[in-house]
A and B are shown apart, each in its own frame.
Chain A
Amino acid sequence: MRNFQLVFKQSFREKVTSKSFLMTTLALILFSIFAISLPSILENFSSPKGEVVVISNATDIEVSEIQQTLTSWMWEGAEPNQLSFFKQEAQEGKILGLYVIDENESNYFVNYYSKSNDVNLNSELSMYLQAKNVQKIALDHNLSAADQQSLFVPVVMEKGEFTAKNEVSVFVTYIMLMFILMAIMMYGTTIATGVASEKASRVMEVMVTKVNPLSMIFGKIFGIALASLLQFTAFFGSVALYLKSGIVEPAKSLGKFELNLSALTVYHCIYFFIFFLLGYLLYASLYAVFGSMVSRPEELNGTTTPISILLMASAFSGILFVIDDPTSTLSKFLATFPFTSPFNMIILVMKDAASLVEISISIGLLVITTFVFGYFAAKVYPKGILHFGENLKLRQLIMRKS
């Protein structure tokens, strides 16, 4: 236990003091803050308001009122004798448009000259003039002030939620899946590289005489796990603090994806943490074993490909099959099978489609499998790290006597 603690501390310290760790953490935080702030930044950098010139021949249409009502454009008033000059300006694109407002007995009518033909501008101006006309008719018919007001009560338009109240939005679930996938791959590779480097530098020859393989492998795995948790705490903490500071209004959506986090509860976060940690431990054991099979870190890429494929297949099976139909038999199987469950049970939990029993079975199986693979890893690991020369195959590693 003492040596486990020493290896654990050493692995943790080595990881968190490395330049790559500090740079990755900083990059993650900065990138997230940038992504959150992007809508606000874009708003600030949006093109300046277009200039629109109005010649009003209607008695009750004032340019100053238009300026106050339709604020997305810069309105300028002009005299009828300036018509040809501003027509020329509009034709050359120097102004967004020239709008000449006239009236007859029943309504207003507009002649406009615009090169860009801004549909939005036309629609807004039309609506404004329509409202003015209704107001004029109401006044002509001596309607009470209350009746006049009720004419302008807007129709309520409320955007419906695609997800039920207790479901986390699909996009947030995607982010979680990607997070687990990236974290396991990133830290798993760190473990495999660490093992391969120790083997390549031959320090392993010294270490195996001082520490038993079980302490060595799990000290390393847990040390790096703690470093990863520290990194993600720093990441989530910084993002949360930034959001709480109110410097920017966080985006509610990204393109067509909802970013609503209101349905995310503490339980969701706990389950997310459990599945992330167990998934990491399971795959980290495999990464350690595969790391012990090669003689140099450069040879890792080819060797760890099967784990990467398994990880990708597990994560994408969730995106392809489970998100759309979380109650199907396939979804339930994928959410229970230990190698795919860290990704797929999270989807079921976020979509509120798993019972407590199902979640417990999934966690139980994952824990058992993690222990079995941890034990297996500790058994074959010393054989791998003491073998130099040609790379070992997994079958050779398992069959090889110690």
Chain B
Amino acid sequence: MKNRVIYGVFAIAGVLAVVLYKTFLKKRGRQIMNLMINDVNKHFGPYHAVKNLSLSVEEGEAVGLLGRNGAGKTTTIRMILGLLNQESGSIQWGGKPLSRKEIKLGYLPEERGLYPKMNMLDQLIYFGRLEGMSKRAAKQEALKWIDRLGINEYLKKDTGDLSKGNQQKIQLIAAVMHNPDLIILDEPFSGLDPVNAQMLEEVTRDFIQQKKTMIFSSHRMESVESFCDRVYLMKHGEVVLSGSLHDIKTKYGFKYVNIESSQPLEESLIELQTDFVRKGKEYQVQVKTMEQGLYLIEKLKSIVDLRKVGIADPSLNQIFIEKVGD
């Protein structure tokens, strides 16, 4: 009897030890799945498309990849997707070379397309199955998204007969229905009417709230500003600006003083030797520092009556134009 009790205690202790060990290991061993691109280069013939690119996207972070057409964004994305091989450097996911077999990617390309003679549901099931989903799961997930994006009425309609906006919704579903580890959205709002754009913005915002790891490439700076934690600005294949939006804006080389007055300010501003832009009733003056801005406001107050004054960081759009505009 005594032996049985001892054996029982040992058995329970053993099970507990295994459970604790596994839990401990699971916690300790859970790897952070981040994307690291180190010193990557890519040429197309003599054209150096991507130059010494280094970029990182932390788990649960949304990063904006910005730049004009031909800046190297799509080439970078294609290298992440494994469609193009980098000539040097490395692309890693969770500390290991990125392999398509070990990561579920959700990609919404800038150039979009669907099978025009296939109906919406069949097409989504097909795409879902290609991502490893069972037919049943793919159908369930597709229907869920179709319902959410309000396109139920076109379920059995050939996608070629749908409007561009609805086709874009289908493509977004195809990109995210398999719950990818990394979502890459290339110009997700291009060609959408304001209602559909807002709907897709809400979906994107949900992804961000769910802490999905995302790369967001867009020309719509206000979208990037509202969604992304950090941005990379590319020009001629190189990163010319990177960091968190707050840092970029506050540490950027200028600020804007916005002034509104009951009387014209042109003469006073010329007298103070400042460059300005007039936007309706408002005057916008670019200054290098906050102190310069404050000094300008004080000077103007002593000359004219000011209705409204404010000092603001440059918008991302202004920085974009300043940095990559010719």
Contact B84 A209 (CB under 8 A): no
**Beyond A203-B115, A206-B127, A386-B78, is A401–B174 a contact (Cβ under 8 Å)?**
no
Could you tell me the distance between the alpha carbons of A401 and B127 in the complex, rounded to whole angstroms?
28
Chain A, Cβ-Cβ closest to B78: A386
Contact A386 B113 (CB under 8 A): no
Could you tell me the distance between the alpha carbons of A203 and B174 in the complex, rounded to whole angstroms?
11
Contact A6 B107 (CB under 8 A): no
Residues of B within 8 A of A107 (CB): none
> A-side binding surface: helix, strand, loop or mixed?
helix
Among B100, B112, B126, contact of A205 (Cβ-Cβ < 8 Å): B112
User: From residue A202, how far is it (CB to closest CB) to chain B in Å?
Assistant: 3
CB of B165 within 8 Å of the partner chain: no
Contact B174 A386 (CB under 8 A): no
Residues of B within 8 A of A205 (CB): 109, 111-113
Contact B83 A386 (CB under 8 A): yes
Contact B126 A202 (CB under 8 A): no
Contact A210 B130 (CB under 8 A): yes
Within 8 A of A (CB), among B95-150: 100, 105, 107, 109, 111-118, 126-127, 129-132
Contact B83 A209 (CB under 8 A): yes
Q: Which of A6, A201, A203, A209 has the most CB of B within 10 A?
A: A209
Among A10, A14, A202, A208, contact of B112 (Cβ-Cβ < 8 Å): A202
CB of B81 within 8 Å of the partner chain: yes
Contact B116 A201 (CB under 8 A): yes
Contact A202 B109 (CB under 8 A): yes
Residues of B within 8 A of A10 (CB): 126
Residues of B within 8 A of A208 (CB): 81, 83
Contact B130 A211 (CB under 8 A): yes
User: From residue B88, how far is it (CB to closest CB) to chain A in Å?
Assistant: 13
Interface size classification for chain B: 20 to 34
Digit string of B32-65 for contact with A (CB within 8 Å is 1, else 0)?
0000000000011000000000000000000000
**Beyond A3-B130, A6-B126, A6-B130, is A209–B81 a contact (Cβ under 8 Å)?**
yes
Could you tell me the distance between the alpha carbons of A2 and B81 in the complex, rounded to whole angstroms?
20
CB of B85 within 8 Å of the partner chain: yes
CB of A316 within 8 Å of the partner chain: no
Contact B127 A204 (CB under 8 A): no
Chain B, Cβ-Cβ closest to A202: B113
Residues of B within 8 A of A386 (CB): 78, 83-84
Could you tell me the distance between the alpha carbons of A7 and B130 in the complex, rounded to whole angstroms?
8
CB of A388 within 8 Å of the partner chain: yes
User: From residue B86, how far is it (CB to closest CB) to chain A in Å?
Assistant: 11
User: From residue B91, how far is it (CB to closest CB) to chain A in Å?
Assistant: 15
Q: Which of A202, A204, A386, A388 has the most CB of B within 10 A?
A: A202
CB of A402 within 8 Å of the partner chain: yes
User: From residue A62, how far is it (CB to closest CB) to chain B in Å?
Assistant: 75
Digit string of B299-320 for contact with A (CB within 8 Å is 1, else 0)?
0000000000000000000000
Residues of B within 8 A of A3 (CB): 130
Chain A, Cβ-Cβ closest to B174: A206
Digit string of A5-24 for contact with B (CB within 8 Å is 1, else 0)?
01100100010000000000
Could you tell me the distance between the alpha carbons of A202 and B187 in the complex, rounded to whole angstroms?
15
Residues of B within 8 A of A402 (CB): 83-85
Could you tell me the distance between the alpha carbons of A10 and B126 in the complex, rounded to whole angstroms?
8
Could you tell me the distance between the alpha carbons of A7 and B174 in the complex, rounded to whole angstroms?
16
Could you tell me the distance between the alpha carbons of A7 and B129 in the complex, rounded to whole angstroms?
10
CB of B258 within 8 Å of the partner chain: no
Could you tell me the distance between the alpha carbons of A203 and B105 in the complex, rounded to whole angstroms?
16
Within 8 A of B (CB), among A344-402: 382, 386, 388, 401-402
Q: Which of A201, A207, A211 has the most CB of B within 10 A?
A: A201
Contact A203 B130 (CB under 8 A): no
Digit string of A185-196 for contact with B (CB within 8 Å is 1, else 0)?
000000000000
Chain A, Cβ-Cβ closest to B108: A206
Contact A6 B129 (CB under 8 A): yes
CB of B171 within 8 Å of the partner chain: yes
User: From residue B191, how far is it (CB to closest CB) to chain A in Å?
Assistant: 13
Cβ contacts A to B, 27 pairs, < 8 Å:
A2-B132, A3-B130, A6-B129, A7-B130, A10-B126, A198-B115, A201-B114, A201-B115, A202-B109, A202-B112, A203-B113, A203-B115, A205-B111, A206-B114, A206-B171, A206-B175, A209-B105, A209-B107, A210-B127, A210-B130, A211-B130, A212-B100, A386-B84, A401-B43, A401-B87, A402-B83, A402-B85
Q: Which residues of A contact B (CB under 8 A)?
A: 2-3, 6-7, 10, 14, 198, 201-212, 382, 386, 388, 401-402
